[in-house]
């Protein structure tokens, strides 16, 4: 029996090119056209936007977006080449809306984390296809 590769998206994101954010959303939407319960792909798009924006704004370097659709879940990973680790921070009243992306990821993803690499890190999240 032949085993098919999981559907996958891989994009290189140029340094500080914020046009990559809507492009990444569009590409992910296409990948997820028939994936998961209603609303899951929209959450995936939102969280992907947050990770891509964070990588482009806070690292001043290129990044790589990878999204893999598995039999039960989606995994999205954004790798950058800066060692500084991100951390969620609760916004203070009256603060700007900057810095809330990881709080969204933390609250909406089924799992998420940061993985250090020899050069840089990956910030990732997973969404279960069937979660409500």
Q: Mind listing the pLDDT tens digit for each residue in 68-84?
A: 998 889 999 999 998 88
DSSP state of 18: T
- What pLDDT sits at residue 132? 56
The whole-angstrom distance between residue 51's C-alpha and the CA centroid of its chain comes to 4
The confidence band for 94, taking pLDDT boundaries of 50, 70 and 90, is low
Which DSSP letter does residue 14 get? -
Mean pLDDT along residues 82-99 = 70
In this prediction, residue 114 carries a pLDDT of 95
Q: Which two tokens stand for residue 100?
A: 């809330």
Angle at Cα 43 formed by Cα 82 and Cα 100, nearest 5°? 50
How much is the pTM?
0.86
As a whole-number percent, the residues of the chain with pLDDT over 90 amount to 54
Element spanning 89, H or E: none
pLDDT exceeds 60 at position 1: no
Contact yes or no for 74/36 (Cβ under 8 A): yes
Average pLDDT, the chain: 87
Residue 2: predicted pLDDT = 55
Residue 99 main-chain phi, psi, to 5 deg: 85, 10
């Amino acid at each position: 029996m032949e085993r098919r590769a999981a559907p996958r998206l891989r994009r290189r994101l140029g340094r500080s090119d914020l046009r990559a954010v809507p492009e990444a959303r569009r590409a992910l939407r296409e990948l997820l056209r028939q994936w998961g319960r209603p609303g899951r792909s929209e959450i995936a798009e939102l969280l992907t936007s947050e990770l891509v924006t964070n990588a482009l704004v806070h690292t001043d370097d290129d990044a790589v977006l990878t999204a893999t659709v598995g039999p039960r879940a989606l995994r999205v990973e954004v790798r950058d080449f800066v060692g500084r680790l991100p951390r969620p921070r609760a916004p203070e009243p009256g603060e700007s809306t900057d810095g809330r992306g990881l709080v969204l990821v933390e609250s909406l993803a089924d799992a998420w984390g940061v993985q250090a690499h020899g050069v840089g890190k990956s910030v990732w999240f997973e969404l279960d296809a069937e979660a409500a």
